[in-house]
Amino acid sequence: MKSLYAVMCATLVAAPLSAEENWTRWRGSDMSGVAEGGNPPMAWSEDNNVAWKVELPGHGSSTPVIWGDHLFVLTAVPTNGSTAPLPPHAREGFNPEAGGGRRRRGGGRPAPPPSIEQEFKVLAIHRDDGRIVWEKSVGTAAPHEGKQANNSYASASATTDGEILLAYFGSWGLYALDLDGNPKWDKDFGDMYTRGGFGEGATPALHGDTIVVQWDSENDSWVAALDKNTGEERWRKERDEVTSWGTPLVVEHDGRFQVITTGTSNVTSYDLETGDVVWYGPGLTLNAIPSPIEKDGIVYVTSGFRGNAAFAVRLADAKGDISGTDAMLWQIDRDTPYVPSPLLYDDILYLVKSNNAILTARDAKTGEAHYGPVRLDGIYEIYSSPVGVSGNVIILGRDGNALVLENGPELKIVRTNTLDDGFDASPAFVDDEMYLRGYRYLYRISE
Protein backbone atom coordinates (compact mmCIF):
# COMPACT_ATOMS: atom_id res chain seq x y z
CA MET A 1 0.00 0.00 0.00
CA LYS A 2 1.31 3.44 -0.86
CA SER A 3 2.07 5.72 2.02
CA LEU A 4 -0.18 8.72 2.61
CA TYR A 5 2.86 10.94 1.89
CA ALA A 6 3.37 9.29 -1.53
CA VAL A 7 -0.29 9.68 -2.40
CA MET A 8 -0.21 13.35 -1.41
CA CYS A 9 2.93 13.95 -3.49
CA ALA A 10 1.42 12.24 -6.52
CA THR A 11 -1.71 14.37 -6.13
CA LEU A 12 0.35 17.53 -5.98
CA VAL A 13 2.34 16.59 -9.06
CA ALA A 14 -0.79 15.72 -11.04
CA ALA A 15 -2.76 18.81 -10.01
CA PRO A 16 -3.33 20.94 -13.13
CA LEU A 17 -2.13 24.50 -13.24
CA SER A 18 -4.65 27.26 -13.81
CA ALA A 19 -4.43 30.25 -16.11
CA GLU A 20 -4.32 32.55 -13.09
CA GLU A 21 -1.08 30.88 -11.94
CA ASN A 22 0.57 31.57 -15.29
CA TRP A 23 0.92 34.31 -17.89
CA THR A 24 -1.06 32.72 -20.68
CA ARG A 25 -1.44 35.47 -23.26
CA TRP A 26 -0.66 39.02 -24.26
CA ARG A 27 -1.29 41.20 -21.16
CA GLY A 28 -1.83 38.20 -18.86
CA SER A 29 -4.61 35.71 -18.24
CA ASP A 30 -7.36 38.38 -18.22
CA MET A 31 -5.59 40.79 -20.63
CA SER A 32 -5.53 43.48 -17.94
CA GLY A 33 -1.76 43.86 -17.70
CA VAL A 34 -1.97 43.35 -13.92
CA ALA A 35 -0.03 40.54 -12.21
CA GLU A 36 -2.20 39.80 -9.19
CA GLY A 37 -0.15 38.29 -6.37
CA GLY A 38 3.19 38.89 -8.10
CA ASN A 39 6.04 40.42 -6.13
CA PRO A 40 9.21 40.72 -8.23
CA PRO A 41 11.96 43.14 -7.20
CA MET A 42 11.35 46.74 -8.21
CA ALA A 43 15.07 47.46 -8.53
CA TRP A 44 17.14 45.93 -11.31
CA SER A 45 20.18 46.55 -13.46
CA GLU A 46 22.68 44.47 -15.41
CA ASP A 47 24.37 43.50 -12.13
CA ASN A 48 21.40 43.54 -9.76
CA ASN A 49 18.43 41.12 -9.64
CA VAL A 50 19.06 39.68 -13.12
CA ALA A 51 18.78 35.94 -12.44
CA TRP A 52 19.75 35.23 -16.04
CA LYS A 53 19.99 36.89 -19.43
CA VAL A 54 19.99 34.95 -22.71
CA GLU A 55 20.34 36.09 -26.31
CA LEU A 56 17.42 35.13 -28.50
CA PRO A 57 17.73 34.27 -32.18
CA GLY A 58 16.09 36.55 -34.71
CA HIS A 59 13.78 39.42 -33.94
CA GLY A 60 10.35 39.79 -32.42
CA SER A 61 8.38 42.19 -30.27
CA SER A 62 5.90 39.63 -28.98
CA THR A 63 5.52 39.09 -25.25
CA PRO A 64 6.60 35.74 -23.74
CA VAL A 65 3.82 33.60 -22.32
CA ILE A 66 4.32 31.23 -19.39
CA TRP A 67 2.92 27.85 -18.38
CA GLY A 68 4.53 25.83 -15.63
CA ASP A 69 8.31 25.77 -15.96
CA HIS A 70 8.42 27.10 -19.51
CA LEU A 71 8.24 30.40 -21.34
CA PHE A 72 7.11 30.36 -24.96
CA VAL A 73 8.53 32.97 -27.32
CA LEU A 74 7.90 33.65 -31.01
CA THR A 75 10.64 34.96 -33.27
CA ALA A 76 11.44 35.53 -36.94
CA VAL A 77 15.00 34.57 -37.87
CA PRO A 78 16.52 35.95 -41.10
CA THR A 79 17.99 33.02 -43.02
CA ASN A 80 21.03 35.09 -44.06
CA GLY A 81 22.20 35.16 -40.43
CA SER A 82 21.66 38.88 -39.80
CA THR A 83 20.99 39.86 -36.19
CA ALA A 84 18.21 41.81 -34.55
CA PRO A 85 18.44 45.61 -34.77
CA LEU A 86 20.12 47.59 -32.06
CA PRO A 87 17.85 49.32 -29.55
CA PRO A 88 17.17 52.96 -30.45
CA HIS A 89 19.64 54.44 -27.99
CA ALA A 90 22.47 52.41 -29.57
CA ARG A 91 21.70 53.45 -33.16
CA GLU A 92 23.51 56.09 -35.11
CA GLY A 93 21.60 59.37 -35.15
CA PHE A 94 19.66 58.72 -31.94
CA ASN A 95 18.69 62.03 -30.35
CA PRO A 96 16.26 61.77 -27.41
CA GLU A 97 15.72 65.53 -27.38
CA ALA A 98 14.48 65.52 -30.99
CA GLY A 99 11.31 63.57 -31.45
CA GLY A 100 10.93 61.74 -28.13
CA GLY A 101 13.71 59.24 -28.66
CA ARG A 102 13.24 58.59 -32.36
CA ARG A 103 16.07 58.67 -34.84
CA ARG A 104 16.38 61.78 -36.94
CA ARG A 105 15.99 60.00 -40.26
CA GLY A 106 13.57 57.30 -41.37
CA GLY A 107 12.53 56.11 -37.91
CA GLY A 108 8.93 55.29 -38.78
CA ARG A 109 8.88 54.72 -42.53
CA PRO A 110 7.76 51.33 -43.85
CA ALA A 111 10.42 49.23 -45.53
CA PRO A 112 10.08 47.75 -49.03
CA PRO A 113 9.26 44.05 -49.30
CA PRO A 114 12.33 42.19 -48.05
CA SER A 115 14.31 39.80 -50.19
CA ILE A 116 15.58 38.01 -47.10
CA GLU A 117 13.65 34.92 -46.09
CA GLN A 118 12.43 34.68 -42.52
CA GLU A 119 12.26 31.44 -40.56
CA PHE A 120 9.34 31.56 -38.15
CA LYS A 121 10.16 29.83 -34.88
CA VAL A 122 8.60 28.91 -31.55
CA LEU A 123 10.97 28.63 -28.59
CA ALA A 124 10.34 26.92 -25.26
CA ILE A 125 12.66 28.35 -22.60
CA HIS A 126 13.13 27.00 -19.08
CA ARG A 127 12.38 29.45 -16.30
CA ASP A 128 15.18 28.17 -14.08
CA ASP A 129 18.17 29.00 -16.26
CA GLY A 130 16.97 30.38 -19.61
CA ARG A 131 18.04 27.36 -21.64
CA ILE A 132 16.11 26.54 -24.80
CA VAL A 133 14.24 23.30 -24.03
CA TRP A 134 12.96 22.95 -27.58
CA GLU A 135 12.56 25.05 -30.69
CA LYS A 136 10.18 24.46 -33.56
CA SER A 137 10.44 25.95 -37.03
CA VAL A 138 6.91 26.30 -38.40
CA GLY A 139 7.73 27.83 -41.76
CA THR A 140 10.13 29.82 -43.94
CA ALA A 141 9.12 32.56 -46.38
CA ALA A 142 10.18 35.85 -47.91
CA PRO A 143 7.45 38.21 -46.66
CA HIS A 144 5.16 39.55 -49.40
CA GLU A 145 5.15 43.00 -47.79
CA GLY A 146 7.53 45.19 -45.86
CA LYS A 147 6.96 46.53 -42.37
CA GLN A 148 7.40 49.69 -40.42
CA ALA A 149 11.02 50.03 -39.32
CA ASN A 150 10.04 49.58 -35.67
CA ASN A 151 7.84 46.54 -36.26
CA SER A 152 8.91 42.89 -36.54
CA TYR A 153 7.70 39.78 -38.36
CA ALA A 154 6.93 38.20 -34.96
CA SER A 155 4.85 40.88 -33.24
CA ALA A 156 1.86 38.74 -32.26
CA SER A 157 2.27 36.87 -28.97
CA ALA A 158 1.79 33.19 -28.35
CA THR A 159 -1.25 32.02 -26.38
CA THR A 160 -1.75 28.91 -24.27
CA ASP A 161 -4.26 27.28 -21.94
CA GLY A 162 -1.96 24.47 -20.80
CA GLU A 163 -3.34 22.09 -23.44
CA ILE A 164 -2.56 23.89 -26.66
CA LEU A 165 0.01 26.47 -27.69
CA LEU A 166 -1.01 28.91 -30.41
CA ALA A 167 1.78 30.49 -32.45
CA TYR A 168 0.43 33.18 -34.76
CA PHE A 169 2.52 34.80 -37.49
CA GLY A 170 -0.35 36.49 -39.37
CA SER A 171 0.08 36.08 -43.12
CA TRP A 172 2.53 33.26 -42.42
CA GLY A 173 0.05 31.14 -40.53
CA LEU A 174 -1.58 30.14 -37.27
CA TYR A 175 0.01 27.03 -35.75
CA ALA A 176 -1.36 24.87 -32.95
CA LEU A 177 1.22 22.83 -31.01
CA ASP A 178 1.20 20.85 -27.82
CA LEU A 179 3.43 22.10 -25.03
CA ASP A 180 6.23 19.79 -26.16
CA GLY A 181 6.31 21.43 -29.59
CA ASN A 182 4.47 18.70 -31.50
CA PRO A 183 2.25 20.10 -34.26
CA LYS A 184 -1.51 19.56 -34.04
CA TRP A 185 -2.85 21.66 -36.94
CA ASP A 186 -2.15 24.86 -38.85
CA LYS A 187 -4.16 27.43 -40.77
CA ASP A 188 -3.23 29.72 -43.67
CA PHE A 189 -5.38 32.86 -43.98
CA GLY A 190 -3.61 34.25 -47.05
CA ASP A 191 -1.67 37.49 -47.39
CA MET A 192 -2.62 40.55 -45.38
CA TYR A 193 -1.85 43.99 -46.80
CA THR A 194 -1.51 46.62 -44.10
CA ARG A 195 -1.93 50.37 -44.18
CA GLY A 196 1.32 51.96 -45.37
CA GLY A 197 2.97 48.54 -45.41
CA PHE A 198 3.43 48.89 -41.64
CA GLY A 199 3.25 45.14 -40.97
CA GLU A 200 1.11 42.99 -38.70
CA GLY A 201 0.73 42.46 -34.97
CA ALA A 202 -2.71 41.45 -33.59
CA THR A 203 -2.79 38.35 -31.35
CA PRO A 204 -5.70 35.85 -31.50
CA ALA A 205 -7.90 35.40 -28.43
CA LEU A 206 -8.43 31.97 -26.88
CA HIS A 207 -11.45 31.27 -24.70
CA GLY A 208 -12.49 27.72 -23.80
CA ASP A 209 -12.40 25.73 -27.04
CA THR A 210 -12.78 28.82 -29.27
CA ILE A 211 -10.06 30.88 -30.98
CA VAL A 212 -10.92 34.34 -32.30
CA VAL A 213 -8.86 35.91 -35.09
CA GLN A 214 -9.33 39.58 -36.00
CA TRP A 215 -8.05 40.31 -39.52
CA ASP A 216 -8.35 44.02 -40.33
CA SER A 217 -6.41 44.99 -43.44
CA GLU A 218 -6.43 47.05 -46.62
CA ASN A 219 -7.61 44.20 -48.87
CA ASP A 220 -10.34 42.55 -46.80
CA SER A 221 -11.32 42.60 -43.14
CA TRP A 222 -13.12 40.02 -41.03
CA VAL A 223 -13.32 38.38 -37.63
CA ALA A 224 -13.65 34.61 -37.27
CA ALA A 225 -14.05 31.95 -34.61
CA LEU A 226 -12.15 28.66 -34.93
CA ASP A 227 -12.36 25.35 -33.11
CA LYS A 228 -9.35 25.05 -30.79
CA ASN A 229 -8.94 21.34 -31.39
CA THR A 230 -9.19 21.24 -35.17
CA GLY A 231 -8.74 24.76 -36.55
CA GLU A 232 -12.08 24.50 -38.35
CA GLU A 233 -13.97 27.79 -38.76
CA ARG A 234 -17.19 28.08 -36.76
CA TRP A 235 -18.19 31.47 -38.11
CA ARG A 236 -16.75 34.44 -39.98
CA LYS A 237 -18.08 37.99 -40.18
CA GLU A 238 -16.96 40.57 -42.71
CA ARG A 239 -15.88 43.96 -41.32
CA ASP A 240 -15.93 47.42 -42.88
CA GLU A 241 -12.53 48.30 -41.43
CA VAL A 242 -9.08 49.40 -42.51
CA THR A 243 -5.95 47.96 -40.90
CA SER A 244 -5.96 47.70 -37.13
CA TRP A 245 -3.68 45.93 -34.68
CA GLY A 246 -5.77 45.45 -31.53
CA THR A 247 -6.14 42.02 -29.95
CA PRO A 248 -9.81 40.99 -29.46
CA LEU A 249 -11.06 40.64 -25.90
CA VAL A 250 -13.54 37.97 -24.75
CA VAL A 251 -15.71 39.06 -21.82
CA GLU A 252 -18.71 37.54 -20.04
CA HIS A 253 -21.82 39.53 -19.22
CA ASP A 254 -25.18 38.23 -18.05
CA GLY A 255 -24.27 34.66 -18.99
CA ARG A 256 -23.22 35.59 -22.52
CA PHE A 257 -19.69 35.70 -23.88
CA GLN A 258 -18.84 38.62 -26.15
CA VAL A 259 -15.84 39.36 -28.38
CA ILE A 260 -14.87 43.04 -28.15
CA THR A 261 -13.00 44.36 -31.20
CA THR A 262 -11.56 47.81 -31.85
CA GLY A 263 -11.35 49.57 -35.20
CA THR A 264 -11.28 52.88 -37.03
CA SER A 265 -14.90 52.68 -38.23
CA ASN A 266 -16.49 51.06 -35.17
CA VAL A 267 -15.86 49.38 -31.87
CA THR A 268 -17.92 46.20 -32.20
CA SER A 269 -18.99 43.36 -29.90
CA TYR A 270 -19.82 39.94 -31.36
CA ASP A 271 -21.52 36.98 -29.73
CA LEU A 272 -18.76 34.42 -29.18
CA GLU A 273 -21.00 31.47 -30.06
CA THR A 274 -22.74 32.80 -33.17
CA GLY A 275 -20.80 35.84 -34.39
CA ASP A 276 -23.93 38.01 -34.27
CA VAL A 277 -23.33 41.67 -33.46
CA VAL A 278 -24.29 42.43 -29.84
CA TRP A 279 -23.50 46.16 -29.93
CA TYR A 280 -21.38 48.66 -31.78
CA GLY A 281 -20.16 52.17 -31.09
CA PRO A 282 -18.02 54.99 -32.43
CA GLY A 283 -14.77 54.16 -34.14
CA LEU A 284 -11.34 55.12 -32.92
CA THR A 285 -8.52 56.80 -34.85
CA LEU A 286 -6.52 55.53 -37.80
CA ASN A 287 -3.99 52.82 -36.94
CA ALA A 288 -6.04 51.53 -34.00
CA ILE A 289 -3.45 49.55 -32.05
CA PRO A 290 -4.17 49.45 -28.27
CA SER A 291 -6.15 46.43 -27.09
CA PRO A 292 -9.42 46.76 -25.12
CA ILE A 293 -9.61 45.96 -21.42
CA GLU A 294 -12.56 45.20 -19.12
CA LYS A 295 -13.31 45.31 -15.42
CA ASP A 296 -16.56 45.13 -13.42
CA GLY A 297 -18.71 45.11 -16.54
CA ILE A 298 -17.07 48.16 -18.13
CA VAL A 299 -15.01 47.98 -21.33
CA TYR A 300 -12.31 50.57 -22.06
CA VAL A 301 -11.02 51.30 -25.58
CA THR A 302 -8.53 53.86 -26.86
CA SER A 303 -6.21 54.86 -29.70
CA GLY A 304 -4.10 57.86 -30.61
CA PHE A 305 -2.76 58.19 -34.16
CA ARG A 306 -3.63 61.44 -35.98
CA GLY A 307 -6.19 62.18 -33.30
CA ASN A 308 -7.19 60.98 -29.86
CA ALA A 309 -10.05 58.75 -28.77
CA ALA A 310 -10.99 56.84 -25.64
CA PHE A 311 -14.27 55.83 -24.10
CA ALA A 312 -15.82 53.47 -21.56
CA VAL A 313 -18.80 51.20 -22.29
CA ARG A 314 -21.15 49.85 -19.61
CA LEU A 315 -22.04 46.36 -20.82
CA ALA A 316 -25.34 46.28 -18.94
CA ASP A 317 -26.65 49.05 -21.20
CA ALA A 318 -24.89 48.06 -24.44
CA LYS A 319 -27.26 46.85 -27.16
CA GLY A 320 -27.28 47.75 -30.85
CA ASP A 321 -25.87 51.17 -31.69
CA ILE A 322 -24.62 52.64 -28.42
CA SER A 323 -23.56 56.03 -29.83
CA GLY A 324 -25.00 58.78 -27.65
CA THR A 325 -26.66 56.33 -25.23
CA ASP A 326 -26.24 55.67 -21.51
CA ALA A 327 -23.95 52.76 -22.41
CA MET A 328 -21.25 55.35 -23.16
CA LEU A 329 -20.09 55.93 -19.61
CA TRP A 330 -17.56 58.61 -20.59
CA GLN A 331 -15.56 59.73 -23.61
CA ILE A 332 -12.35 61.79 -24.05
CA ASP A 333 -10.44 63.11 -27.05
CA ARG A 334 -6.96 63.97 -25.78
CA ASP A 335 -3.71 62.45 -24.51
CA THR A 336 -4.35 58.87 -25.63
CA PRO A 337 -1.82 56.17 -26.64
CA TYR A 338 -0.74 55.25 -30.15
CA VAL A 339 1.05 51.89 -29.62
CA PRO A 340 0.89 51.06 -25.87
CA SER A 341 -2.33 49.58 -24.52
CA PRO A 342 -3.82 51.20 -21.41
CA LEU A 343 -3.40 49.82 -17.91
CA LEU A 344 -6.34 49.53 -15.51
CA TYR A 345 -5.02 48.96 -12.00
CA ASP A 346 -7.60 48.96 -9.22
CA ASP A 347 -9.83 51.84 -10.41
CA ILE A 348 -7.12 53.92 -12.07
CA LEU A 349 -6.71 53.98 -15.84
CA TYR A 350 -3.17 54.81 -17.01
CA LEU A 351 -2.77 56.25 -20.50
CA VAL A 352 0.49 57.09 -22.26
CA LYS A 353 0.23 60.01 -24.71
CA SER A 354 1.02 58.76 -28.23
CA ASN A 355 4.35 56.89 -27.80
CA ASN A 356 5.83 59.58 -25.58
CA ALA A 357 6.82 59.55 -21.91
CA ILE A 358 3.76 61.61 -21.03
CA LEU A 359 1.30 59.97 -18.65
CA THR A 360 -2.27 60.63 -17.53
CA ALA A 361 -3.94 58.72 -14.68
CA ARG A 362 -7.75 58.81 -14.79
CA ASP A 363 -10.59 57.64 -12.59
CA ALA A 364 -11.86 54.60 -14.48
CA LYS A 365 -15.51 55.17 -13.51
CA THR A 366 -15.71 58.86 -14.45
CA GLY A 367 -12.83 59.47 -16.87
CA GLU A 368 -11.70 62.46 -14.79
CA ALA A 369 -7.94 62.94 -14.50
CA HIS A 370 -6.23 62.26 -11.19
CA TYR A 371 -3.09 63.78 -12.69
CA GLY A 372 -1.54 64.53 -16.03
CA PRO A 373 -0.70 64.80 -18.73
CA VAL A 374 2.74 64.94 -17.10
CA ARG A 375 6.12 64.30 -18.67
CA LEU A 376 8.11 61.46 -17.07
CA ASP A 377 11.80 62.22 -16.71
CA GLY A 378 14.40 59.57 -17.52
CA ILE A 379 12.47 57.69 -20.17
CA TYR A 380 11.79 58.44 -23.83
CA GLU A 381 9.80 56.67 -26.52
CA ILE A 382 7.40 53.94 -25.32
CA TYR A 383 5.99 50.99 -27.28
CA SER A 384 5.66 48.49 -24.42
CA SER A 385 2.36 48.61 -22.52
CA PRO A 386 2.40 49.62 -18.83
CA VAL A 387 1.92 46.82 -16.32
CA GLY A 388 0.83 46.67 -12.69
CA VAL A 389 2.29 44.49 -9.96
CA SER A 390 2.61 44.60 -6.14
CA GLY A 391 1.16 48.10 -5.89
CA ASN A 392 3.44 49.52 -8.57
CA VAL A 393 3.18 50.53 -12.23
CA ILE A 394 6.11 49.66 -14.51
CA ILE A 395 6.70 51.58 -17.74
CA LEU A 396 9.44 50.29 -20.06
CA GLY A 397 11.21 52.51 -22.58
CA ARG A 398 12.72 51.72 -25.94
CA ASP A 399 15.99 53.13 -24.59
CA GLY A 400 16.38 50.43 -21.92
CA ASN A 401 15.21 52.62 -19.03
CA ALA A 402 12.19 51.70 -16.93
CA LEU A 403 10.18 53.76 -14.46
CA VAL A 404 8.51 52.29 -11.39
CA LEU A 405 5.57 54.36 -10.14
CA GLU A 406 3.44 53.87 -7.06
CA ASN A 407 -0.09 52.90 -8.04
CA GLY A 408 -2.37 55.68 -6.84
CA PRO A 409 -4.09 58.98 -7.60
CA GLU A 410 -0.88 61.00 -7.16
CA LEU A 411 2.27 60.70 -9.25
CA LYS A 412 5.00 59.11 -7.14
CA ILE A 413 8.07 57.81 -8.94
CA VAL A 414 9.68 55.02 -6.93
CA ARG A 415 12.82 54.55 -9.01
CA THR A 416 14.39 54.37 -12.46
CA ASN A 417 16.06 51.15 -13.66
CA THR A 418 18.34 50.63 -16.65
CA LEU A 419 19.36 47.63 -18.77
CA ASP A 420 21.61 47.42 -21.82
CA ASP A 421 18.80 46.39 -24.16
CA GLY A 422 15.71 48.27 -25.38
CA PHE A 423 12.13 47.07 -25.06
CA ASP A 424 9.06 47.04 -27.29
CA ALA A 425 7.53 43.85 -25.84
CA SER A 426 5.53 44.10 -22.62
CA PRO A 427 6.66 42.31 -19.43
CA ALA A 428 5.40 38.89 -18.35
CA PHE A 429 5.06 37.72 -14.74
CA VAL A 430 4.80 34.50 -12.78
CA ASP A 431 5.28 34.03 -9.02
CA ASP A 432 7.89 36.61 -7.97
CA GLU A 433 9.58 36.71 -11.36
CA MET A 434 9.37 39.24 -14.19
CA TYR A 435 10.48 38.49 -17.74
CA LEU A 436 11.57 41.23 -20.14
CA ARG A 437 11.98 40.48 -23.83
CA GLY A 438 14.31 43.02 -25.43
CA TYR A 439 15.61 43.54 -28.94
CA ARG A 440 18.31 40.93 -28.41
CA TYR A 441 17.97 39.44 -24.93
CA LEU A 442 15.44 37.82 -22.66
CA TYR A 443 15.88 38.74 -18.98
CA ARG A 444 14.58 37.08 -15.86
CA ILE A 445 14.26 39.66 -13.06
CA SER A 446 14.07 38.06 -9.62
CA GLU A 447 15.90 38.08 -6.31
Q: Domain of 373: which CATH number?
A: 2.130.10.10
pLDDT the model gives residue 14: 34
* pLDDT reading at 44 higher than 90: yes
DSSP E strands, 367-430: 369-375, 387-389, 392-396, 401-406, 413-418, 428-430
* pLDDT reading at 106 higher than 60: no
Query: How much is the average pLDDT of 17-39?
Result: 85
Cα–Cα distance for residue pair 164/183, rounded to 1 Å: 10
Interacting residues of 444 by C-beta distance below 8 A, sequence separation 6+: 50, 51, 52, 53, 127, 130, 433, 434, 435
Cα–Cα distance for residue pair 241/53, rounded to 1 Å: 41
pLDDT single digits (tens) 371-430: 999 999 999 899 999 999 999 999 999 999 999 999 999 999 999 999 999 999 999 999
pLDDT band at 5 (very low <50, low <70, confident <90, very high): very low
Query: How much is the average pLDDT of 236-244?
Result: 97
Handedness of CA 182, 140, 435, 358 (dihedral sign): negative
* pLDDT reading at 102 higher than 60: no
Looking at per-residue confidence, does 116 or 92 come out higher? 116
Query: How much is the average pLDDT of 73-87?
Result: 82
Q: Give the predicted TM-score (pTM) of the model.
A: 0.91
pLDDT the model gives residue 82: 74
Cα–Cα distance for residue pair 320/175, rounded to 1 Å: 35
pLDDT single digits (tens) 158-211: 999 999 999 999 999 999 999 999 999 999 999 999 999 999 999 999 999 999
Domain that holds residue 415: 4-445
Kindly compute the dihedral angle of the four CA atoms of residues 320, 321, 322, 325, in this order, to the nearest 10 degrees: -100
Domain count, the chain: 1
Cα–Cα distance for residue pair 403/159, rounded to 1 Å: 27
